[in-house]
Structure 1
Amino acid sequence: MIIYDDGDTATRQAWTALGGAPGLTGRVGYRGAGALGAARLPVRELARATVGVCSLAAAELAAVRAGRAVADLPGLVVDEGAVSTAFTSERHLRVDGRAPVSFAPLSGFWRTADGWLRTHANYPHHRAALERALGAGAGDGTGGLTPERLRAELAGRKAVEVQEAVYAAGGLAVAVAEGFGAPQPLVEVRETGGRGRELGAGRLPASGVRVLDLTRVIAGPVATRTLGLLGADVLRIDPPGLPEADDAHADTGFGKRSARLDLADRADRETFGELLAGADVLVTGYRPGALDRYGLSAGELAARRPGLVVAQVCAWGWHGPWAGRRGFDSLVQAGYGIAAAEAGPDGAPGVLPAQALDHGTGYLLAAGVLRALAEGGGRLLRFSLAGTASWLVREVPRQPAAAGGSAGADGSAGAGAGPAAVYGREAYEPGPWLRETPSAYGTLRYAAPPLAVGPDDWSAGPSRWGTDPARWLPAHGRE
């Protein structure tokens, strides 16, 4: 077991960014030797720190609600095996014994005439946009784009040229950057005025808290399934015309209910307004400005709902020329320079051993919400995958081998541009942190939650995406 006198450095960095009181990170320790996998960047340290601050924020909120002094929080111990298993939850998922497919055939790295390109075509509409951009649609008489055709097409074109053409068509492709992107804040926190409801004591840290969830894919859903674990009534809302992949929802749909509303429809918009009026927290995962036309800009929300906690997550950050672009973890790794930093001996781009930007940002977002609730609400929190990437490559320190790391042959440690040592080759057995439960999707094998606070499992498996009623649970159903 490792307990730090003043807290692990990365944990302290994240807690400070979230506005946490100095000194509390000394309550968080880490044990075990979970192994995310080999990496040059300190991804293991990032992963455990994000779970550590989320655990600490949950303990803080529980103490505040119970009227206890935060300074008297007990020690919290996070198991690194649980962290590693949770950060690779999509790889451990089994649906009636079947392993899900994480990436579609047209998603991946491709060599171009001047470098490398990363595409993301897991969703049908993104695949269709990629085909349109490259003139190889299913209706052109060629039978659509295949990996072989894509490889041949890209070999003669420049990476940035394809990136811009695909983006203009509504698709997702990013040129692999050789250097790290511009610095981004880990979180932006702004007071918006007003106070939320007085919550009083609760059985769990977030008991009775109502969370309206407008997020998709991994980062936002990880945050909201964590809030659901801690007792919140989480209601996810999606547009009817943009279905979620079954396997993705089977993995991240725990701890919440899922309904569909079309905000362009007047009746559905009124229903959403009623839900918003009863919410304590709104979490969004859409591009900056994408929801403004529905009256959901930060300024309008602050005026309409004083005391509401608004937590927003996007891919590329909230400022700069790429702020409004779509993105996923894999694309941010490529465009921010991580893929180049993790390149193999042959120079081909590499990846982090987990979708750590997604998962890490998810736990940071949940921690930010819990801290905002502990301080009375009225907060705007902004996170991004690029912000988490910036923290990873510039600030998160590598723990030496004596603290559980596995140093490279040169014994070097510490994050920075182009680190040479490869860490994290040790193996571990995830079995102790795998669970099984029936669900609307069938019997699921899944990763247990990694927090050091709260239940060690969700009470039930996820419902099927979009099939729950769009209403809050009665008060007695939220404890």
Structure 2
Amino acid sequence: MSEPDVTTAHAWQAIGGPAKLITKVSYRGTGEVLPAVLPVRQLARATVGACSLAAAELLAARNEGPVPEVRVDEGAVATAFRSERHLLVNGRGLTPFAPLSGFWKAADGWVRTHANYPHHRARLLAALGIDAGEGRGDAELVERLAEGLAALPAREVQEKVYAAGGLAVAVAPKPDPGDECAAGGPPLVEIEEAGEAGGQRLPSAPLPAAGVRVLDLTRVIAGPVATRTLALLGADVLRVDPPALPEDPDAHIDTGVGKRSTLVDLDSAEGRHTFEGLLDSADVVVTGYRPGSLDRHGLGAEELIARRPDLVVAQLCAWGRSGPWAERRGFDSLVQAASGIAAIEATPEGRPGALPAQALDHGTGYLLAAGVLRALTERQINGRGRLLRFSLAGTADWLLRGITPEPAEKGTHDPADWLTETSSPYGPLRHALPPVHYEGSPGNWGTPCTRWGTDLPAWVR
């Protein structure tokens, strides 16, 4: 590219990157990948480009050398943004959404539900008074759910299901581009620097994040994509889950590559002691739970930074840390529906549509990884940690308001060019290769995912 990509420059600036480095980034186009009404292709390549540049910058800072050139292939990006759809486990493809997840006609519009997890499914049905008793199959429950939702206004459904702990949102209309008074969403990134220095410099290493210890307290999909990327770049990533909240095996297989997985009960004295030991020597903590949900354990972002001024804390949520929905659960598909994206991507018949990938999840994940890498680079200079905040709603607002569509370069995209096969404890996997690329970067993860929750709660190095 003769000129720096404007969208990549915006993402790079948002995470505090030096403007002079943006000329290091170039792209190889492969046609109209991730086609949509909205500029999904540009968002996708910009977040991966910014992450690749942040990795190259950290590597140069550790080795006191020049920043490697970054060249990202849009084909690799498009394939990775749909990684869960390309994954085969023993030849079996994944089902991205459960039967009770999707768009439904309400009395006055549309609602979007998310019921992939059993507890969310049960709460959705309970909120609408639907008995999910023994013997009732998915087809019957789908019919009953459709009937129940069609009889209620969309916003009433939204509030009833939320009150029951479930997940449903009313589909919002298209944002009015001419309404200058319309409030935007959360910022793309919020950054707070710790007030005290104290962090040790990372030594020279062949990979940007080699030896960096990352506590991964995230679930589906953005947070795990971020920590999966840090693992690719050499970090020792330990995902920690509560024993009482099982993960979907397919989601873990897709985003657990390169990492280890352990179970720790923070409500027990033994579990809390174990976690405190891990925290004492961590470099990075990534959280993906609702704002405030970890506070009861004394693990709020501000508290972590106060205890460890050299710690990098990256906080991820669905709706942003302020506003009426800040404490609500949320997923990519729900944010698409509530932000107006689903209305923009609607079919000619008026049925709400979706982006060609879980682009808010994947884009936020790469941007979060980029923010962590940049924070580690800054810590090399001043010894201070950082608090970083990201949200799916912030990424959605950027997609809606902050990116100008541009035509794609000519070319063809074959996802097979960016897929590989790997052995794993779950059997042979066909999976997407990582899209993050700089001169000399690793082409694949060093290890497959381990079985969920089976690793020891300890650092390996």
Aligned length: 446
Distance 2:210 2:159 in 1: 46
Residue 120 of structure 1 corresponds to which residue in structure 2?
114
Distance 1:461 1:259 in 2: 15
Cα deviation digits, residues 126-173 of structure 1 (max 9, x gap): 000001101113249977861111111111110110111101111000
Assess if the C-alpha contact under 8 Å between 1:136 and 1:142 holds in 2. no
Please give the residue correspondences for 1:176-325 in structure 2 after superposition, counting only pairs within 5 Å.
176-180=171-175, 182-193=184-195, 194-325=197-328
SS in structure 2 of the partner of residue 23 of structure 1 = helix
Assess if the C-alpha contact under 8 Å between 1:111 and 1:151 holds in 2. yes
Shifted more, 37-46 versus 280-289: the winner is: 37-46
Distance 1:4 1:264 in 2: 55
Residue 158 of structure 1 corresponds to which residue in structure 2?
153
Assess if the C-alpha contact under 8 Å between 1:34 and 1:82 holds in 2. no
Residue type matched to 1:163 in 2?
Q
SS in structure 2 of the partner of residue 235 of structure 1 = strand
Residue 339 of structure 1 corresponds to which residue in structure 2?
342
Shifted more, 153-162 versus 32-41: the winner is: 32-41
Shifted more, 351-360 versus 191-200: the winner is: 191-200
Matched, 1:356 2:359: yes
For 1:109, which of 91, 103, 106 is the aligned residue?
103
**1:73 positional shift:** 2.5
Residue 399 of structure 1 corresponds to which residue in structure 2?
406
**1:22 positional shift:** 1.1
For 2:6, which of 9, 13, 16 is the aligned residue?
9
SS in structure 2 of the partner of residue 269 of structure 1 = helix
Residue 460 of structure 2 corresponds to which residue in structure 1?
473
Distance 2:25 2:97 in 1: 35
Matched, 1:65 2:62: yes
Shifted more, 141-150 versus 366-375: the winner is: 141-150
Residue type matched to 1:31 in 2?
R
Assess if the C-alpha contact under 8 Å between 2:59 and 2:67 holds in 1. no
SS in structure 1 of the partner of residue 239 of structure 2 = strand
Shifted more, 168-177 versus 426-435: the winner is: 426-435
Cα deviation digits, residues 107-130 of structure 1 (max 9, x gap): 000011100000000000000000
Distance 1:53 1:333 in 2: 23
**1:400 positional shift:** 2.9
Shifted more, 26-35 versus 345-354: the winner is: 26-35
5+ long unaligned stretches in structure 1: 405-425, 475-479
Residue type matched to 1:75 in 2?
E
Assess if the C-alpha contact under 8 Å between 1:34 and 1:83 holds in 2. no
SS in structure 1 of the partner of residue 93 of structure 2 = coil
**1:39 positional shift:** 0.6
Assess if the C-alpha contact under 8 Å between 2:301 and 2:315 holds in 1. no
Distance 1:138 1:346 in 2: 32
Assess if the C-alpha contact under 8 Å between 1:93 and 1:251 holds in 2. yes
**1:97 positional shift:** 0.3
Distance 1:38 1:373 in 2: 35
**1:75 positional shift:** 2.6
Residue 421 of structure 1 corresponds to which residue in structure 2?
none
After superposition, the Cα gap between the structure-2 partners of 1:100 and 1:34, relative to the gap in structure 1 and judged at 3 Å, is farther
Residue type matched to 1:432 in 2?
D
Matched, 1:171 2:166: yes
Distance 2:16 2:305 in 1: 20
SS in structure 2 of the partner of residue 471 of structure 1 = coil
Assess if the C-alpha contact under 8 Å between 2:132 and 2:141 holds in 1. no
Matched, 1:431 2:416: yes
Assess if the C-alpha contact under 8 Å between 1:4 and 1:28 holds in 2. no
Residue 178 of structure 2 corresponds to which residue in structure 1?
none
Distance 2:423 2:134 in 1: 44
Matched, 1:32 2:35: no
Shifted more, 173-182 versus 110-119: the winner is: 173-182
Assess if the C-alpha contact under 8 Å between 1:189 and 1:381 holds in 2. yes
**1:34 positional shift:** 5.3
- Structure 1 outlier segments of 4+, above 6 Å: 140-145
Please give the residue correspondences for 1:110-149 in structure 2 after superposition, counting only pairs within 5 Å.
110-139=104-133, 146-149=141-144
Residue 74 of structure 2 corresponds to which residue in structure 1?
80
Matched, 1:21 2:23: no
Distance 2:298 2:154 in 1: 37
Residue type matched to 1:28 in 2?
V
5+ long unaligned stretches in structure 2: 176-182
Shifted more, 460-469 versus 132-141: the winner is: 132-141
Cα deviation digits, residues 251-279 of structure 1 (max 9, x gap): 00011100000111111011000000010
Distance 1:444 1:378 in 2: 37
**1:286 positional shift:** 0.2
Assess if the C-alpha contact under 8 Å between 2:125 and 2:145 holds in 1. no
Residue 422 of structure 1 corresponds to which residue in structure 2?
none
SS in structure 1 of the partner of residue 424 of structure 2 = coil
Assess if the C-alpha contact under 8 Å between 1:195 and 1:308 holds in 2. no
**1:33 positional shift:** 1.2
Assess if the C-alpha contact under 8 Å between 1:100 and 1:247 holds in 2. yes
After superposition, the Cα gap between the structure-2 partners of 1:143 and 1:57, relative to the gap in structure 1 and judged at 3 Å, is closer
SS in structure 2 of the partner of residue 160 of structure 1 = helix
Identity %: 64
Distance 1:315 1:139 in 2: 32
SS in structure 1 of the partner of residue 19 of structure 2 = coil
Residue 387 of structure 2 corresponds to which residue in structure 1?
380
SS in structure 2 of the partner of residue 343 of structure 1 = coil
Distance 1:205 1:464 in 2: 26
Distance 1:435 1:141 in 2: 41
Please give the residue correspondences for 1:399-478 in structure 2 after superposition, counting only pairs within 5 Å.
399-401=406-408, 403-404=409-410, 428-453=413-438, 454-474=441-461
Residue 423 of structure 1 corresponds to which residue in structure 2?
none
